[in-house]
Amino acid sequence: MYRKQVRRRRAALALLLIASLILLSSTFSGSSGAVGGIEDGLASAMAPLQDVTSRALKPARDAINWFDETFNARGENSDLRSEVDDLRARLVARQKALAENDHLKKMLGFQESGIASAYKLQTARVIGRSPTVWYSTVTVNLGSSDGVRVNDPVVADGYLAGRVSAVTGHTAVVNLITDHRSAVSATALPDGPEGVVEPEAGDPNTLLMDFISNDQKVHVGDVLVTAGWSSGRISSAYPYGIKVGKVTKASPGEQGAFQRVEVDPFADLRGMDLVQVLTNGPHRAGVPK
């Protein structure tokens, strides 16, 4: 019995080998006829099996393709994120460089103006800020050892920021024009009235130009500069001509009261990093040093 099974298996194997050789021969020789018919018959017989096999293996192929595409996409996304981060860092650096360049240009422009000709301008960096809006001060990294004195004017980008209120050997405290203790004598250009710019009581974020009577002409958009007046015995704390801000609102007051003139400062008092201290200036009568 066992020998019969072995002979049958050998016979089947032999028939398969012969069929394979015939098919290969017909394929390479390009023959047709009986062999071609056999080949076509075998192909037709195998077609259903190939179709079933193809369908059975399709999920596996799809899964392999999905993993391959997913890994490729993840790699591409990682590369794109790296490129975006690099471009973003370059953009930030460029914007910072442009901003610093703009600050330096404005500083140079103020230094070349006639206002600064009587002073020694020293550039200082802001190293500290007051924690409350009521005491609007900043601390800078220049002090008495650099020639900084109390009441020296301070500008940011060529606009009035405040004046020095206290000094140590290497630092100075600057009272900003938004500080409740500040008062700046100013005049409206080109030939407007003079008044005093100071923060509104109870709202230090709002600057007002006070002491402007109802019959005096002030218009929205008027530019205010330091008045720089002097009577010979007393003087305003600042020289003439430093830009302070512009008028954003002007409304008449009640009978016998002053106009309400709101002012937007030119200097970026909250965001400034560099300032210029006007040192070694001429003595101003009544302004202590």
Q: Domain 115-279, CATH 2.40.40.20 — does that match? A: no
The angle subtended at Cα 82 by Cα 76 and Cα 87, nearest 5°, is 125
What is the tens place of the pLDDT at every residue in 224-252? 999 988 887 888 889 999 999 999 999 98
Displacement of CA 161 from its chain's centroid (Å): 23
Range with lowest mean pLDDT among 96-105, 138-147, 203-212? 96-105
Name the average pLDDT for the chain.
80
The residue ranking higher by pLDDT, 260 or 20, is 260
Residue 277 CB neighbour total at 10 angstroms: 25
Mean pLDDT calculated for residue range 131-154: 91
- Give the integer Cα–Cα distance in Å for 212 and 167: 34
pLDDT beyond 90 at 197:
yes
Closest CA to 238 of 274, 169, 187, 167: 187
pLDDT tens profile 94-110: 766 666 666 666 666 67
* Residue (of 274, 243, 248) closest to 261 by Cα position: 248
Count the Cβ atoms, other than its own, within 10 Å of residue 25.
11
CA–CA dist 289, 287 (Å, integer): 7
CB 141 within 8 A of CB 171: yes
pTM of the complete model: 0.65
Predicted local confidence at residue 196, as pLDDT: 95
Q: For the chain, which residues make up each domain, given as ranges?
A: 2-63, 115-279
For residue 6, the model assigns a pLDDT of: 46
